[in-house]
Structure 1
Amino acid sequence: MKLTLLSSLLWMGSMVMAGSAPSPFVGQCGRHLTQSCSAQANATNVDSCCVEKGAGIFLLSQFWDQHAGYDNQWTIHGLWSDYCNGSYPTNCDPSRQFTNITEVLVAKRAFRLMQEMNNVWPNSAGTGHVDDFWSHEWGKHGTCMSSFEPKCYSNNAYDGMIDYFNTTVKLHKKYDIYKALRRHGVVPGHSYSTSRVQEIIKREFGMFPDLRCNTAGEIVETWMYFFVKGPVQQQILVPTGNNNATNCNATLIYPFKYPNDNANSKIW
């Protein structure tokens, strides 16, 4: 869906807030929040703005991309939701498959969020604009989360999307893989026991990660699974297991970023 810049600015009107308006439901869900994938979550009297109904297992995916992001920082792949039986929905609302993410962020004056997304959520495919990647993650995964539906934002179609990005960036900051590993002496440029890396992340964050490696045995991604109490925006996470899943060998390589940049050290 295309929102022209002019119509964006007109639609923004006299807004003075920098960024999206928070969901009105977040403050109205009560003190006793319902956990996703619980029996109570599927009760008919529970509002889907206050608990994820159906797809209540969440996965925070972070990249160790050798060719994107800062040397001392993992980057974001996305925030995904699975059904409670382990299968997952995708592309749940074609009417909200927005492609002009940057334009919407500018129109909503979410400049700080946009800058953070450019820093920590680059297009790791190496081709195309960041909007392509952001649009893909929102359309495929964000539209399937009930907490971000327009009805939770006075039927505004864009605020939920911005909250999805904002929530994902906050979770990425909260679960800083690089700093967690460094505190235990695990730094790029060396090989480590896969189980050691998993145990460190579990000790730091309470979630046993699914580590993903490439065919060269290098770690490229972490997946962390959890349930959520209340709206996703509040980030009240309840860790859940993943059956010790990993496709890495017993020993993995934690590579340096930008391995070929020293080939021409006088380029600048």
Structure 2
Amino acid sequence: MAPSASLRSILAYVGNLISQVPLQLSDVPNPLAPFLGPTDPTTTTTTTTTAAAAVGTGIAPVTPYIPLSGAPTCPIDGPTSCNNQTSADSCCFVHPGGRLLLTQFWDEATHVGGSETDWTAHGLWPDLCDGSYDQFCGMTPRFNNITAILKHYEQDELLGYMSRYWVAKYGTNEHLWEHEYNKHATCINTLAPACYGDAYKPGLEVVDYFERAFGLFRQLDTYHALAQSGIEPSSSKTFDLEIIQTVLERFSGGRVILKCGGRRRDRLHEAWYVYFVKGSLQSGQFVPAGDSFKGDQGNCAKRVKYLPKRKKY
């Protein structure tokens, strides 16, 4: 009997539909300067401010923001990233890091109750269309305290989902979110403040990055996709890696890179789903990448273990 759909797989289609629809620009009157890192790309230090301190002193009152509503308006027939040889509006064309990888973990340990059947988000990473990548860029500002920014813009629901499904294997979730944003999101050009025009307020790009990344993640229920094909965690079985790869690539419609841990690289640990973007990161269409490219090979053995999670919480 086929397993029942998880809550995340049910919500996936709704979340993706919402994330694809351009919304009317809303009025966001208050700055979020206390959360803003340096705008000078040559500066490497950042300033940390807690939400309690900012709100308590009246510096950064809570400001509603509809995710993706501040994104640039882009033509529906614009070029697809990594597939265009002519110049394009930089706010409507992801460049140079035009191939996006939505990465997931299977940690072998539950971090919160009820997550025994959940893969978790790791990040949304841009590469340079050739398997290489930039990191800690100056295309967008760097930020500290992602939680405070999301709370400031009334993104409690998104924050709740992230706290369950975008969790750190080591250290705190906050540290993981800051690392993922500052290492990867700062290299995505359409998140630049200039792309938001006069309505830009510091932190809008943070909301949009995590909204878009998590919206894509909710479409990709790796556990359910494998379970539908009879591939479920087991302490005794091993599985043919090629079969797992085929299942996930049919499920997503594009390339999937698998990574494994363990001394023999035989413990299934990560799945990277590969996409191009047609338009901006914020409002564009994610197009599954069907091509092979440098760096698209995983590191797994031919047969792998897919181990059940252990309780950690």
| Pairwise TM-score range, normalised by the shorter structure | 0.7 to 0.9
For structure 1, list consecutive stretches of 5 or more residues without a partner in the other structure. 262-266
Cα deviation for residue 39 of structure 1 reads 2.5
* CA–CA separation in structure 2 for the residues paired with 1:186 and 1:4: 44
Residue 221 in structure 1 maps to residue 270 in structure 2: yes
SS in 1 for 2:305: strand
* CA–CA separation in structure 1 for the residues paired with 2:251 and 2:287: 14
* 2:249 and 2:256 in contact (8 A); partners too: yes
Q: CA RMSD in A?
A: 2.4
Judged with a 3 Å threshold, the aligned counterparts in structure 2 of structure 1 residues 105 and 193 are, in CA distance, closer, same or farther, namely: same
Residue 109 in structure 1 maps to residue 143 in structure 2: no
Cα deviation for residue 62 of structure 1 reads 0.4
1:183 to 219, 222, 228: 228
SS in 2 for 1:140: helix
* CA–CA separation in structure 1 for the residues paired with 2:195 and 2:254: 29
Per-residue CA distance 1:47-91 (angstroms, 9 max, x = gap): 222110211111111000112441111001100001123321100
SS in 1 for 2:75: coil
Cα deviation for residue 98 of structure 1 reads 1.6
- The percentage of aligned residue pairs carrying the same residue is 29
* CA–CA separation in structure 2 for the residues paired with 1:213 and 1:72: 18
1:31-180 pair list within 5 angstroms: 31-40=76-85, 42-43=86-87, 46-69=88-111, 70-93=115-138, 96-124=141-169, 126-127=170-171, 129-154=172-197, 155-180=200-225
TM-score normalized with structure 1 length: 0.86
* 2:140 and 2:193 in contact (8 A); partners too: no
Moved over 4 A (4+): 8-14
Judged with a 3 Å threshold, the aligned counterparts in structure 2 of structure 1 residues 153 and 12 are, in CA distance, closer, same or farther, namely: farther
Residue 199 in structure 1 maps to residue 280 in structure 2: no
Cα deviation for residue 33 of structure 1 reads 2.3
Aligned length: 253
TM-score normalized with structure 2 length: 0.74
Per-residue CA distance 1:9-30 (angstroms, 9 max, x = gap): 856557344x5452341xx211
* 1:49 and 1:146 in contact (8 A); partners too: yes
* CA–CA separation in structure 2 for the residues paired with 1:176 and 1:104: 27
Cα deviation for residue 96 of structure 1 reads 2.6
Larger helix fraction of residues: 1
* 1:148 and 1:160 in contact (8 A); partners too: yes
Cα deviation for residue 37 of structure 1 reads 1.3
* CA–CA separation in structure 2 for the residues paired with 1:33 and 1:94: 21
* CA–CA separation in structure 1 for the residues paired with 2:50 and 2:309: 38
Cα deviation for residue 209 of structure 1 reads 1.4
* 1:225 and 1:242 in contact (8 A); partners too: no
For structure 2, list consecutive stretches of 5 or more residues without a partner in the other structure. 1-46
SS in 2 for 1:49: coil
* 1:94 and 1:139 in contact (8 A); partners too: no
